[in-house]
Structure 1
C-alpha cells in the first residue's frame, strides 16, 4: 500500500481553517504523526497544492482533540501551526480562531453530552498554553449550528455566534505576561527600536508602526510588496524571542520557533479603508494593528493575537497602551485590522497587572469529514 488513511475533519473557525483529528486515531510516534500533519496540509511546498492547506499561515493548522480526565473539563485541545515550503510543526502557542471550531468538533463528534437547550458550553483545556477555555456553542438538530446572522470581519458570509472566553490567559509560553517589562529596546539598522512582548493566549511582539517607517494605515498589499520591512519586522521578532529565553539564538528563533511569538505593528486610531473597500472612521476603533505571522502578512489578524492585543491595551506602559486612550476599567477593546473591526472582551485582575479573562465571538462550520490519505513512510 503506497498510502495510509487517517480519519479527519476539516473545519473553518473564524478566519482560519484546519484539519481536526481524534487523538485516538493518530500514531503515538511523534515523527509519524508529524508526517501525517505535513502531508495533510501539504507543507512541503509553498503553494500546498499537494495537501489541504491554502498557502497561508491561517489555513496551515492542525487540531488534535481527546476526552479529558481533568476535573470540570470536557476535552483536551492541542494546536499545531504548520509552515509553507518547510517541514515545520510548531506546538508552542495556540489558535484563537479554531477554539470555536474545537467546541463545535466536540459536540459534532459526541465527545460531550448536550441537552435540549439552544446552546451547549464546552470546557476545553489547551495543552499548548495550560489554559481553560469556555466555548458557548449554539445548537441545531443536535449538532453545532453553522448558519446565523453574526458577522466576523474577514468573512463574506455570517454564521452562528460562538462565544469564546479564556480564563487566566497569561504566561502560556514564558513565566510572565510581560517578561521584559512594559517596554524594552533593541538595536536596529536605523537606531534603537522600542517594543513590547506580551505573553497572553499567544505571545506577540508589538512595535509602533512609525518606529519602523510605516504609517498606521499602510495597506497589506503595500506591506507584502516590501521585503525590507518584512525582514526588519522578522528580525525584531527573532531578537525578542531570544531576549525572553524562548530561543537560545537568532537561528533557533527563526528556524525552530517560527510560529510564536508573532509580531504586530500598532498605531493610534485613524480613518482607514479595509481590504474589502469599507471606510472605518477613527471613532469606531481604539487601536489599529497589522500582524506578521510565519513571515507572511496576515490578511486580517490572528484570533489569539486579537485577544493578546486587547490585554496589552489595558496593561499600563505597553506600546499598545501608549497609542490608545482606553481606561484600564474598559471591558471591550475595538481593534481595527486590515479587513474590519474586532470587538474583544477583556478584564484585568484587581492588581491591574495581569489579565482575569479575555474573549471574543467567532463562527465555525464543518466543511468535510472523511479519510485523509498520506504517503506511507518507507
Structure 2
C-alpha cells in the first residue's frame, strides 16, 4: 500500500485572501518537485479544487513558504506562490500583501521568531522581489492574539490588527520612466510600489460599455472589455520591462473611477484576468502611490486627502486605507517611493497535517456518469 504524502500545514486567512502556510524545510527543495506537490495539496488543476485545500478562486488558492533568514535586516524569508485553479501552474512571479499579513504570526507560531512582549514585530524579506516589510501584531503573554476589533472590508467580523510597514523599495516607481504612456490606444500610468500595476481611467474604456462601478461578475462577462484589457496588459508588460506577460500574473490592471463612498478613488482590479472582489494590499499601495504623482491618469478622477493623510481606495466590497508617500529623487525630478503602510488582519484557521493527492494524471472534475440500473430492478438511488 502506498501511503499519501503528508506535510505540516497551517491554513490562514491573511487580509482578504486565504492560503496554506508551510515551513520551507517541510517541502521539497527542488522547485519542480515542490510545485508538483503543491498542486496536489491544493487540488489543482480542477475548477472546483474539490480534492484539495483550494477554494476554487485565485484569492483562496495561495501558498506562503517561510524560513528563517540569514539576512541581518530580516528575521524570516517569505516566498509567495500562486497556485492556478484550472491549470497545473504554480507562479512565483509576484508578491501577495494579503498573505504577508499572516507571515509574522505564522513565524511566531512555528518558533522562528520569539514573541516580544505585548506586541511583536517580525521583519520579513519578500523573496519574490527582494523587498522588505515589517509586520507588528499583538502577542500578550507570549502568544499570538487573533481576536480584536479591527474590521476589514470583505472579511466577516473583526480581528486583531496587523500593521504592515513597507520601507521604500529600490526599484523604479515608474518602470517606463514616464508618468503617462499610451498602450493599445489607451492612456495609462504604469507604477510599481510593490506590485507592477497599470492604472487606467474607466472612462477611457467607455467604448466597451463600462463605467467602473460594475460588480466583478459583470466585468468578467464583458468580452469586449476582456479583449481590450488583454491588449493593454501585453503591451504595458513589455514597456515595464516584464517581457512577454501572456502567461504571467503581473502586471495587474486597476480601473479608476471617481469615488462613490467618500474615498479617494473607486477601483476595479484584474488579477490579471479575474476581477478582484476587493483589492490586493500591494496593488492598493501601487494605486495610492500612482495617484500621488502629478500628471497620472487618475489626477482628475481622484480626491486625495491632505498631504500625509491616508489614501482610501474603494473596491467592490468596501475600502482599503493606505498610508503612502512619494518623494523626489536625487535628480530633483524623478518620483521615488516613500513610506507605505497598511493595517490588515489575519486568523489561524487550522494547524495540522495535509495529505496530498496521489501523484497521478489529473482530470478536471466532471459530473459522474449515471449509475447502471440494478439487475432485475430499477435504480431508485436518486430518491433515497
TM (norm. structure 2) is: 0.87
Q: Equivalent residue for 2:372?
A: none
Q: CA deviation at 1:2?
A: 5.0
SS in 2 for 1:363: strand
- Contact 1:11-1:101 at 8 Å conserved across structures: yes
User: 2:335 is paired with a residue of what secondary structure?
Assistant: coil
Alignment of 1:213-362 (within 5 A): 213=206, 214-248=210-244, 253-255=245-247, 257=248, 259-269=249-259, 271=260, 280=261, 284-326=262-304, 329-351=307-329, 353-362=335-344
Q: Distance in 2 between matches of 1:170 and 1:326?
A: 25
Q: What CA deviation, in whole Å up to 9, does each residue of 1:183-219 have, x standing for no partner?
A: 11123xxxx2111111121111111101112213222
- 2-side partners of 1:234 and 1:50: how far apart? 31
Contact 1:331–1:347 (CA under 8 A) maintained in structure 2? no
CA contact (8 A) 1:165 1:359 kept: yes
* Structure 2: gaps (5+ residues): 361-384
Asked whether the equivalents of residues 2 and 375 of structure 1 are also in contact (C-alpha less than 8 Å), the reply is no
Which residue number in structure 2 is paired with residue 205 of structure 1?
198
Contact 1:14 1:152 in 2 (8 A): yes
Q: RMSD between aligned alpha carbons?
A: 1.8
Change (3 A) 1:7 1:299: same
CA contact (8 A) 2:257 2:267 kept: yes
CA distance in 2, matches of 1:236, 1:35: 32
C-alpha distance in structure 1 between counterparts of 2:223 and 2:271, whole Å = 14
Tell me how far 1:46 sits from its aligned partner.
1.6
Segments ≥4 residues shifted beyond 6 Å: none
- Out of 169, 175, 179, which is 1:182 matched to? 179
**Deviation at residue 231 of structure 1 after TM alignment:** 3.0
Bigger strand share: 1
- Paired with 2:349 and 2:212, the residues of 1 have a C-alpha distance of 36
Q: Figure out how many residues of one structure are paired with residues of the other and give that number.
A: 351
Map 1:38-77 onto structure 2 (within 5 A): 38-77=39-78
Q: C-alpha distance in 1, partners of 2:226/2:142? A: 46
Structure 2 counterpart of 1:275: none
Gaps of 5+ in 1: 272-279
